[in-house]
Amino acid sequence: MTYTSIKSAFIAGALAIAGTTTALAGSTEIDLTYVWTAKDGMGERLVQTYNAVGEALEAGEPGLLEYEMSVSETGDQIIIHEVFEDNEALAFHLQGTAAKYFPQISEFATPGPFIFRGEVAEELKAAAYGMNMGAIFSTDWNGFDRN
């Protein structure tokens, strides 16, 4: 996918999201875990860029409750974990920080998968699918907790 087509997907997604924020009120937390894989020789650039993304998120996204980044031992992948307060916070993220950085990062890294857990609004699902980022949606985990 080219930079122009990724940017177009973001614009289309942002337009779809823009009219939905009042309908999204009252939603539950959304957990997002995803991976970026750097293209050959671009691991350091990926990490540096995501350090800047983390600073932007901390400064400008109050609906983002948690943000964690881990670098693979090979240095060519990063794993990101984010928890959004609700669908409005996720929509804000997709329209703002993600729309700003996703096309840029796509020039030197490959996205996906992006795993969303929680009750994600259909408009946000459509925007994520349109971005071809390997989006996977799940409402909850099954299993147990020994604590």
Instruction: Give the domain ranges of the chain.
Output: 3-138
- The whole-chain average pLDDT of the chain stands at 85
Non-local CB neighbours of 45 within 8 Å, separated by 6+ positions: 38, 108
Does the reported pTM lie above 0.85? no
Backbone angles phi, psi at 135, to 5 degrees: -65, 135
* CA quadruple 65, 117, 120, 50: dihedral sign: positive
- In this prediction, residues 48-59 reach a mean pLDDT of 95
3-state SS assignment for residue 19: coil
Cα 82 to Cα 72: distance, rounded to the nearest angstrom = 17
Looking at domain 3-138, its CATH class is alpha beta
Measuring CA to CA, how many Å separate 56 from each of 11, 14, 62, 64, 141?
Answer: 20, 19, 11, 11, 30
Torsion angle in degrees (nearest 10) through CA of 124, 125, 128, 129? -150
Helix (H) or strand (E) holding 30: strand 30-38
Model confidence at 9, pLDDT cuts 50, 70, 90, reads low
Q: Which residues are within 8 A (CB) of 40 and not within 5 positions of it... i.e. 6 or more apart?
A: none
How confident is the model over 49-53, as a mean pLDDT? Answer: 95
Residue 11, pLDDT above cutoff 60? no
Q: Band of the pLDDT at 21, cuts 50, 70, 90?
A: very low
pLDDT in tens, 59-112: 999 999 999 999 999 999 999 999 999 999 999 999 899 889 999 999 999 999
